[in-house]
Each structure stands twice: as C-alpha cells, then as structure tokens.
C-alpha cells in the first residue's frame, strides 16, 4: 500500500493512502486546507523522572533522561533533551521506587521547544 506524507506549517504530519491499490486508474490526489487538530486525552502524571537505556543498534547502552512524565492510554509521554529514534527498543528505569523497571519502544518523537516530546509504548512486565 502506498502513502503520501503531508506536512503542515507547524511540522505536524499525516499519512494519506494514495496508491494504485486504492484507485482503479492512475490518480493525483490534491489536499487543500490540511489540518490536524491536537487532541488532549486524559493524562495521569507520573512522579519523578525515567531513564531510558537503549537496547539495540549503534546506540546500544546510551541513556536518556525523560521528565514531565504522564501516562495516557497505556503509553508514557515525557520530554527528553535529545532525540530518540522512533522504533528504538529501551529498558525504562523509574526514579519512583514503587515502579518496576520495564521495556518499551519509542512510538513517537518530535521537537518540542528546547527538547523532544517522546511517547513510549510500554510493556509493564519486568524488564529482563
């Protein structure tokens, strides 16, 4: 399946289906007035910071500190000083001693002011 990546002036992107699988004949799709409205789902604040330990690739062993933590829909959202690539496998350690270390995957990462907004898909099973 083919997609087109659309980017607005404020760097918000979306993927739109636009391939031969979608249309019977070659087609050009024109999108005018592209807008994505940010949604703010209910977020539960998480006390303290989290430390990410990279588990693969050239960045194996690199550590990142995540602040301003919130849990939303089973994901953890926070701010990092440096970028972390989407798809990176990490172990998550928590400053809050009541939380157990776990694994996660970076699901989203975008520039946000002086840092990066990071979203983690978390596997709350104990990290090995």
The pLDDT tens digits for 61-105 are 999 999 999 998 889 999 999 988 889 999 999 998 888 899 999
Statement to judge: residues 69 and 98 lie in one domain: yes
- Higher local confidence (pLDDT), 31 or 118: 118
How many structural domains comprise the chain?
2
Asked whether residue 41 carries a pLDDT value surpassing 50, the answer given is yes
Statement to judge: residues 50 and 33 lie in one domain: no
Statement to judge: residues 34 and 51 lie in one domain: no
Q: In 3-state terms, what secondary structure has residue 58? A: helix
How would you class 104 by CB atoms within 10 Å of its CB: exposed for 0-12, middle for 13-18, buried for 19 or more? buried
Asked whether residue 7 carries a pLDDT value surpassing 90, the answer given is no
Statement to judge: residues 70 and 101 lie in one domain: yes
Statement to judge: residues 13 and 29 lie in one domain: yes
Rounded to whole angstroms, how far apart are CA atoms 118 and 73?
Answer: 15
Global pTM exceeds 0.75: no
Give me the mean pLDDT over the 47-60 stretch: 92
Statement to judge: residues 59 and 120 lie in one domain: yes
**Across the strands, what pairs with 52?**
64, 92
Range of the domain at 34: 1-38
Give me the mean pLDDT over the 107-121 stretch: 90
Statement to judge: residues 4 and 29 lie in one domain: yes
Asked if residue 118 lies in contact with residue 69, where contact means CB atoms within 8 angstroms, the answer is no
Residue 67, pLDDT score: 94
Asked whether residue 23 carries a pLDDT value surpassing 70, the answer given is no
Statement to judge: residues 59 and 119 lie in one domain: yes
- Residue 86 is classified by DSSP as T
Statement to judge: residues 76 and 27 lie in one domain: no
Statement to judge: residues 88 and 119 lie in one domain: yes
Torsion of CA 87, 90, 93, 95, to 10 degrees: -40
Statement to judge: residues 94 and 68 lie in one domain: yes
Asked if residue 102 lies in contact with residue 126, where contact means CB atoms within 8 angstroms, the answer is yes
Asked whether residue 18 carries a pLDDT value surpassing 80, the answer given is no
Question: Percent of the chain beyond pLDDT 70?
Answer: 64
17 — pLDDT class (breaks 50, 70, 90)? very low
């Amino acid at each position: 399946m083919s997609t087109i990546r659309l980017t607005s002036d404020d760097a918000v992107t979306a993927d739109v289906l636009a391939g031969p699988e979608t249309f019977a004949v070659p087609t050009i799709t024109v999108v005018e007035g592209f807008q994505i409205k940010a949604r703010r789902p209910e977020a539960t604040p998480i006390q303290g910071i989290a430390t990410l330990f990279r588990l693969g690739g050239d960045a194996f062993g690199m550590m990142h500190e995540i602040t301003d933590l919130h849990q939303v829909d089973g994901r953890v959202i926070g701010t990092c000083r440096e970028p972390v690539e989407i798809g990176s496998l990490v172990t998550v350690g928590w400053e809050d001693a009541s939380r157990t270390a776990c694994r996660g995957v970076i699901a989203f990462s975008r520039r946000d002011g002086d840092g990066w907004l990071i979203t983690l898909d978390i596997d709350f099973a104990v990290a090995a």
